[in-house]
Structure 1
Amino acid sequence: MEMIKDKNSALIAMSGGVDSSVAAYLMTKQGYRCLGTTMRLYRNSDIGLGNYHTCCSQRDIDDASDVAFQLDIPYEVLDFTMEFKERIIEKFIRTYEAGGVPNPCVDCNRYMKFDRLFAFAEQKGLYYVVTGHYARITYDEGRQRYLLKKAADLSKDQSYVLYMLTQEQLAHLQFPLGDIPKEETRKIAEGLAFCNAAKHDSQDICFVPDGDYVGFMEQYTGRKYEDGPIVDEAGNVLGRHHGAVHYTTGQRKGLGIAADRPLYVTGKDMESNTVFVGPNEALYSDTLYADEMNWIAMEPPAEAIRVKAKTRYRHKEQWATAYPQGKDKIKLIFDEPQRAITVGQSVVLYDDDIVVGGGTIIEAGRQEG
């Protein structure tokens, strides 16, 4: 027999930051019966982070607990350390070692946070899951679908990392901050004297807070990434690299080679351990292929559709045509070539402020002719 849920109930995902704390406050203010929770995804000592303060750290758990106490709502910590290690950290390493650039925050949302939060809410008989993301959800009667839209505060919009949400999830999800600017969120937290009111937003990958992802990978795996050749477009060896995983498409600094013109990383061959370099114009491509497509604003299209698309979180979306290649894959051709499209990153499709869908880039190149 299916559990009858109280529609006035909500599970609040509390990261310990100011955004999720204010989201919790706004839900209690609206009269929802709330349960706060934080997902413990790793322990700093387990992945060699020492006393770094990062997203999902023990300090964040303490801050979330303090806010829940202040708001007088029950609070629980969910431990998913082993699953995070297997599904996020190890995929992160595999993607770099295969020559791509992973997007662990998208993967964490897709495979960990929302799946596990909805399962826990179901277990507790709670109707909504609530997070502090800056995005909006509406229901379109004409389409008979829930829509994911950009936040009112475009400078903080996080719709790019939420493209994997399903219709069932969107029906039971709330983003209380979607219509308010970030500065207003801070003012609310300061007015309530939250312990984290002045806390900085986390910017880096949570388990690589110092940005040295290769150092993290070597520490985690015990492997040392070997030197190899740096080769230009004519096949000339210009120097040696210190492990191909160090280099990403579009990189210019840190190559350690002398040339009569600026050179950038244009690609890598992980089997031969070779890094390729070339001029800036070699970085531009107009075509990509993406798989693991999730369609939000429509069913998977049968014909080509016009969209705007972005291939990085901070990328300004550009006009393109998406050609379906079956239900879960597309070929996307941009009207104008784009710089440094990178395998492993997400491509997200937009119709104005509506997220049409998104997927993972598996190939990039130029149209023939």
Structure 2
Amino acid sequence: MKITKFFFQNANSFVKRWKAQPFQVQWPRKHDKVFVAMSGGVDSSFSAYLLKKQGFNVEGVFMRNWLDEDDAPGGCPAEQDWSLVQKVCKQLDIPSRRFNFEKDYWTRVFEPSLELYEQGCTPNPDVPCNRYVKFGALYEALENEMSREWENGSCSTQQWWLATGHYAKTMKNASNNQVALCLPKDRWKDQTLFLCTVQEKALQRTIFPLHNLEKKDVKRMAAHAGLNESADRLESQGLCFVSPNVGSHFRSFLGRYLASSNEPIRVVANGKVVGFYPPSTGCWSYTIGERCGLSLPQGDPEFQGRWYIWKKEASTNTIFICHGSMNPLLFRKRIRVNHWTWSTEWIRQEASKSKGPIDCSVRVRHQQTLEPAKALFQGDGLLVVDFLNPQRALTPGQVLAMYNDELCLGGGSIAADEP
């Protein structure tokens, strides 16, 4: 088994010394029970295929997280997903079953997301869904079941695992069982951003069968294995039951749950009001960095060209726009991050030895290149991040994940207030 050494550098204790710790890929033993969280998509289906082929005791599990099928016309309604999961499991000759987590999703993911939208933020529901539902409610349900089966003698092993089709990697130090969430082979597809707040307890029993594969090869190999229907499916993320989950359809969906203002939304450019958006849309429906759709007088030299949203004030129902996609107002070099969660306790302890900022790399959106930065922790889940290079359209509510080498240190939410 390949051994990887991680080095932790920090402006004080870490800079003075490099600390190396050996880890190896976390993987089941022969005859271990492996539950595969399946959606019918190619990644989870092929993960189940790989584990079955390697001789593990595999069972497919499906989560239903939303009740209203009308929200998903032509998208990924739960019954269609469940039907495909059953079909794949039958093809692989493994058992399958479903869990209902509608309440967990509503209270831990959807309602908090609505609150953030109302505050003018743009949340990423994939992150709390992974933390509280897939690696929270599902993990706890499986843990309780395996404990009961062990106690009544209906299972032969206490060792079980939860596998998903994420492109990520868990590694473990065999000497002390310390676990680490790490980057996968496919750095472009890397999904550790969406997993950066998953609790350590769940990571201890989590494996990612696609950690050493690339997406293009997974689709090809899945089709070769006869998983054609899964291989041909479109990918989903965010609120997957809303299709499409971008644009006017998505805004219409959120509009069912978010109150609109009685007053039109003011649009401000160069310190003066230049127009209004209709009150039915709401500040929440506009995103920092996107092009302003307001019709401005192109005959006036002051307003010629393209304008972009650089700031929102939900409290005053105001959107601020600037000229040009590379306007300095769209860029920030320092941000505050709140609700910080360390990936593991041993990483938190290592970082706590610092008396100053930590040298790290960060990512604030999927498939973004890792950006060099320094992070200064202020306690109570707060930190200030200084980027080496100014970053465009840093959006309050979005998640920032932090890395050192291959290791994911944790994650938090970009705050609306300035440091």
Instruction: Compute the TM-score of the two structures, normalised by the length of structure 2.
Output: 0.79
For the pair 1:296 / 2:343, whether they are aligned, the reply is yes
For the pair 1:255 / 2:294, whether they are aligned, the reply is yes
Aligned equivalent of 1:123, options 136, 141, 144? 144
Aligned length: 357
After TM superposition, the structure 1 stretch with the greater mean CA deviation from structure 2, 224-233 or 344-353, is: 224-233
The answer on whether the counterparts of 1:12 and 1:37 sit within 8 Å (CA) in structure 2 is yes
* Other-structure match for 1:237: 273
Aligned equivalent of 1:306, options 359, 364, 369? 359
Please report how far the alpha carbon of residue 143 of structure 1 lies from its aligned counterpart in structure 2 after TM superposition: 8.6
Please report how far the alpha carbon of residue 154 of structure 1 lies from its aligned counterpart in structure 2 after TM superposition: 1.6
Hey, what's the Cα distance between the residues in 2 that align with 1:89 and 1:233? 36
Q: Deviations over 1:276-315 (max 9, x none)?
A: 1224211111111112222236125233210011111232
Q: Deviations over 1:89-111 (max 9, x none)?
A: 22222211110001011111112
The answer on whether the counterparts of 1:225 and 1:245 sit within 8 Å (CA) in structure 2 is no
Q: Deviations over 1:329-359 (max 9, x none)?
A: 2111112221111110001111122212211
Hey, what's the Cα distance between the residues in 1 that align with 2:68 and 2:74? 7
* Other-structure match for 1:341: 394
> Equivalences for 1:1-369 in 2 at 5 Å?
8-45=32-69, 48-49=70-71, 51-54=73-76, 57-125=78-146, 127-140=160-173, 145-194=178-227, 195-203=229-237, 205-210=239-244, 211=246, 212-221=249-258, 223-226=259-262, 227-234=264-271, 236-242=272-278, 243-258=282-297, 259-279=303-323, 280-296=327-343, 298-300=347-349, 301-302=351-352, 303=354, 304-326=357-379, 328-363=381-416, 365=418
* Other-structure match for 2:153: none
User: Identity rate of aligned residues, in percent?
Assistant: 30
Please report how far the alpha carbon of residue 204 of structure 1 lies from its aligned counterpart in structure 2 after TM superposition: 5.5
After TM superposition, the structure 1 stretch with the greater mean CA deviation from structure 2, 93-102 or 24-33, is: 24-33
Q: Deviations over 1:130-170 (max 9, x none)?
A: 10111111124689632211111122111111111233222
The answer on whether the counterparts of 2:131 and 2:199 sit within 8 Å (CA) in structure 1 is no
What secondary structure, in the 3-state scheme, does the structure 1 residue paired with 2:123 have? Answer: coil
What secondary structure, in the 3-state scheme, does the structure 1 residue paired with 2:82 have? Answer: helix
Change (3 A) 1:7 1:322: farther
Please report how far the alpha carbon of residue 18 of structure 1 lies from its aligned counterpart in structure 2 after TM superposition: 1.1
Q: Deviations over 1:22-43 (max 9, x none)?
A: 1111111222212211000113
The answer on whether the counterparts of 1:146 and 1:296 sit within 8 Å (CA) in structure 2 is no
Where structure 1 has 5 or more consecutive residues not aligned to the other structure, the ranges are: none
What secondary structure, in the 3-state scheme, does the structure 1 residue paired with 2:135 have? Answer: helix
Aligned residue type for 1:51: P
Which structure is richer in relative contact order (CA contacts within 8 A, separation 6 or more)? 2
Hey, what's the Cα distance between the residues in 2 that align with 1:188 and 1:334? 39
What secondary structure, in the 3-state scheme, does the structure 2 residue paired with 1:156 have? Answer: coil
Where structure 2 has 5 or more consecutive residues not aligned to the other structure, the ranges are: 1-28, 147-158, 298-302
Please report how far the alpha carbon of residue 71 of structure 1 lies from its aligned counterpart in structure 2 after TM superposition: 1.6
The answer on whether the counterparts of 1:135 and 1:149 sit within 8 Å (CA) in structure 2 is yes
Hey, what's the Cα distance between the residues in 2 that align with 1:323 and 1:255? 39
Please report how far the alpha carbon of residue 266 of structure 1 lies from its aligned counterpart in structure 2 after TM superposition: 1.6
After TM superposition, the structure 1 stretch with the greater mean CA deviation from structure 2, 121-130 or 251-260, is: 251-260
What secondary structure, in the 3-state scheme, does the structure 1 residue paired with 2:396 have? Answer: coil
Hey, what's the Cα distance between the residues in 1 that align with 2:174 and 2:90? 39
